[in-house]
Every structure is written in structure tokens, then in C-alpha cells.
Chain A
Amino acid sequence: MAPSAQRLSSLHVASFVADGALRFDGIVPRALSDAALAELAGGGPPSPFGAPPGSAAAAWPGRPLAGLFHEWPALSAVLELPAVAGVIESLLGPGALYDHHYAHVIAPRNGWAQPWHADAILDPRPTAFDIQLCFFFHDTPREMGGTMYLPGSHLRRVNEFAIARYQNFVGQEAMACPAGSLLVCHHGIWHCGQPNRTDRQRTMFKLRLNPSVPQRLLWDTRDLRDPLVGKILSRDHGWYGHEVRLEIANRLRLWRALTGDPHYDVDFWLTRIENEPR
């Protein structure tokens, strides 16, 4: 861990397990946000997405994140902010690996909403996860769209746009936020870009990172036994109806993996069905 990184608490990580996302408004100072936006507007760094084989950008995926953005000092500084580095290290541990990045630029007066989807392809990993950092370096009011995401959707395994038939959910959240805000998502989160009804261009910088170590007790665990953890893991987001107990069971399994505690439970949900006297 970098000495200055500000690690997440257990309550933060429990929220990530329950919601699949953590939101940090204004985590990047305004001047640094402006500088990062200028670097993106200047065309760099090139994304490996669609990059020609053999190009420098195509060789980035799988490399350690540390130092990778050194030619873009503002973006490097963003990732090295103690609060940002702390989020990354709390969820992925030291030595996070770069997966890909992309600057999503939405033109002014674009009235089209991207359909709901999950990124990449259906991911069969039972507990390990990647994170996606979505930076909003300029003010993003609701009429500018922002990214819409569905809290509690990350453990529902779907393949990309297979969920495009859905339009609205009780509890959906639009990332309308001040400049310098960050949304950190589990790789499985359901999300969609929203229309930009302003006269200004919207930019969202997305960075996907992979773990290189087992994701176990990587955060500030001093509050690990806080009873609020169980309440957070039991959240009902409202849109999945009477499947909430299945949601909780899946979160409990992820929490057990993250903490190394194979007996952790809430309301006896898993303990009851693991009881098979012989």
C-alpha cells in the first residue's frame, strides 16, 4: 500500500458488496480535474480498445497500473490522490493491473440513451472482481445525463446488452454530480449512458482495473465487527421484488470470501441451509 493511501472502511466495502458501486462526489480537486480534462481533450492517452496489434496502447492491458500514465501527469496525479489510491488498493490490493480505459465523449444535444448493459462478457468468476472507475471531471447535472447505474445489480450475471429490453427500474441512480466526482463499480454493474440535453460536450473517463492478489481484508478493517455491516449487506433495493433473500445470500458469499470468514452470516440465511447432520 502506498503510504499516503486512505483505505476504505469495512462499512464502505460492505456497501460495495451490497450496491456494487461507491460514489465519491468531488474527490478530485477542481484544478486537477480541469488539467485531466485537458489531457483527455488533447487526445491522450490512447485507448487499447480497438488499437492496432503491435501498437503501444495494445500492450497496456495486463500491465501494472503504477507508472503507466506517466506521460499524462494530471491523470497520473488523479490516480495517485490518497483517496483514489486508497479506493483502488482497498478493493484490489497492491499491484492493481490495468485492463483498459476509454474517454466516453457525448456530443451536445444528443437525445439518445444507451441501452442498459453490463460491460465485457458474462463473467463466471464466483467472487473475484474487477473494478471500473468512472471519473466525471466537469460538473454533470442531470440534464447532461451522466451514467445511470442500478444499485444491487452487479451479482446478476448477464451478457452485455441482453438486458437492453429493460428501460426503467425502481431505485435506478443517475450520476449527476459536481466536477471531480468518481463512481467506482463492480465489473458486473448494470448501467447505461444517458442523453446529453445541454449545449456542452460531456466527457466521462472510465478505467477498468484487475486484481493481482487475493482480494481479502485489503481495507481498513478496524470496524470489521460493526453490526452495521449486516444491515448494509441486507439492503433491499426494491427493483428485484421477492428475490431480495437470494440477493443477500449471494452478497454473504462474497463477504465471506473478502473477509476469509467462512461462517459469517446474517439472519441465519446460509447457516440454516448448510446444516446437514451426518
Chain B
Amino acid sequence: MLKQKLLILYAANSSPESPVGAWSLFDGTGRETHMAGDGGEPPYSSVVAAMRDGWRVIQMPQLREAPRGDEHAIGFLPYEFVLEKMVEA
């Protein structure tokens, strides 16, 4: 049975070639458990590097115009790429 693993990479800008600044991994097979603060280095240097290792991009970040009057507001990381691998489990 195929089960899904999700890798979320937060890139420096909207390009999938830009460096990764944050990441998360969710394993639908139950073999691995990942949690806040458990990693030292990003698993891949960029989204493209993850694609070359077999991860499929299933969501690209939308580019949004800055809201008028609040152009410098910062909050969530805007360049979130969601990738998946389907693995036998």
C-alpha cells in the first residue's frame, strides 16, 4: 500500500532554486516522527535539490501583492513549497 510523506520547504524567495530557511517533514507511513526543533541542517539546499531526489512538488506559493498601507507587515514565511513522496508501507 502506498502512503504519503510530506516535505515542506520554506525558500528564500519564490524561486524553487533559492536556499531553504525552514523545513518540516510529516511521515504518513508512521516510520519516522518529526517534531519542532529536531533538525540541525535543512534536508535539501533547495526545492529543486529535493525534486532531484524524487520529491514531487504539489503546491507552489502564490505571489501576493503587499496590502496597501501595510506593505512592510511580516508574519508567516511566504515561500512555502509542499512536496510529497509516495512510498510502499
Chain A residues within CB distance 8 Å of chain B: 112-116, 148, 155-158, 162-170, 172, 174, 192, 194-195, 238-243, 246-247, 249-250
Contact in complex: B36, A167 (CB < 8 Å):
yes
Question: Beyond A158-B75, A241-B13, A242-B12, is A168–B18 a contact (Cβ under 8 Å)?
Answer: no
Residue of B nearest to A148 (CB): B37
CB contact between B21 and one of A240, A246, A249 (< 8 Å): that residue: A240
Contact in complex: A246, B8 (CB < 8 Å):
no
Contact in complex: B24, A247 (CB < 8 Å):
no
Q: For A172, list chain B residues within 8 Å (CB).
A: 37
Contact in complex: B35, A167 (CB < 8 Å):
yes
State how many angstroms separate the Cβ of A155 from the closest Cβ of chain B: 6
Question: Beyond A241-B79, A246-B74, A249-B72, is A114–B21 a contact (Cβ under 8 Å)?
Answer: no
CB contact between B36 and one of A115, A162, A239, A243 (< 8 Å): that residue: A115
State how many angstroms separate the Cβ of A120 from the closest Cβ of chain B: 16
25 A-B contacts (beta carbon < 8 Å): A148-B36, A156-B74, A156-B76, A158-B75, A162-B76, A165-B24, A166-B77, A167-B22, A167-B24, A168-B23, A168-B40, A169-B21, A192-B37, A239-B21, A239-B22, A239-B77, A240-B77, A241-B11, A241-B13, A241-B19, A241-B79, A243-B74, A246-B72, A246-B74, A247-B74
Q: For B25, list chain A residues within 8 Å (CB).
A: 167
Contact in complex: B37, A242 (CB < 8 Å):
no
Contact in complex: B37, A243 (CB < 8 Å):
no
Contact in complex: B22, A114 (CB < 8 Å):
no
State how many angstroms separate the Cβ of B48 from the closest Cβ of chain A: 15
B54 at the interface (CB under 8 A from A): no
Contact in complex: B72, A170 (CB < 8 Å):
no
Secondary structure of the A contact surface, majority rule: loop
State how many angstroms separate the Cβ of B40 from the closest Cβ of chain A: 8
Q: For A113, list chain B residues within 8 Å (CB).
A: 35-38
Per-residue 0/1 for B1-33: is the Cβ within 8 Å of any A Cβ (1 yes, 0 no)? Answer: 000000010111100001111111100000000
Residue of A nearest to B19 (CB): A241
Q: For B11, list chain A residues within 8 Å (CB).
A: 241
Contact in complex: B18, A241 (CB < 8 Å):
yes
Contact in complex: B21, A241 (CB < 8 Å):
yes
Contact in complex: A166, B36 (CB < 8 Å):
yes
Residue of B nearest to A169 (CB): B22
Question: Beyond A168-B24, A241-B11, A241-B18, is A194–B37 a contact (Cβ under 8 Å)?
Answer: yes
With the chains together, A165 CA to B19 CA distance in Å? 19
State how many angstroms separate the Cβ of B61 from the closest Cβ of chain A: 11
State how many angstroms separate the Cβ of B70 from the closest Cβ of chain A: 11
